[in-house]
Amino acid sequence: MAAPYPATQPMPPYPTGPPPPPGAYGMQQPPPAYVPPPVIIKTTALGSHPCTMQCSHCQAMITTNVSYTTGVGAWVICLLICFFVGPWGCCFIPFCVDSCKDATHTCPNCHATLGTKTVM
């Protein structure tokens, strides 16, 4: 016996629509605007004292301004002195000696930070 109805594909129980567009799953953060990272060159070429160089920003030959900040290196040296000499040793010396501090070189012409010489 032949089937009374032609063998047609039954309709799917639920239609398969197009996939949801991206971003439909909750609120998505918009892509952040591109912010160029600050150009801070950590180099060993710069010492603890002002040096004459060509500024990479204004291309002028300048002698860098150096500002000293107490960085991690001074604290490490302080702890080492405390450990080996004692808490009443000369552990404060790193905070007084510029060579134990981080030296930040800035351009006197355009005031750009050219590099930081760290102790560690």
Which positions touch Zn ion (CB under 5 A)?
55, 57-58, 107, 109-110
Nearer to Zn ion, 109 or 118 (CB): 109
Report, in Å, the least distance between residue 107 CB and Zn ion: 3
Nearer to Zn ion by Cβ, of 47 and 108: the residue is 108
Output phi, psi for 99, to 5 deg.
Answer: -70, -15
State which residue, 28 or 52, has the beta carbon closest to Zn ion.
Answer: 52
* Tokens coding 34: 């591109």
The residue length of the chain stands at 120
Q: State the nearest-atom distance from the C-beta of 58 to Zn ion, in Å.
A: 3
The torsion defined by the Cα of 50, 39, 61 and 43, in degrees rounded to 10, comes to 50
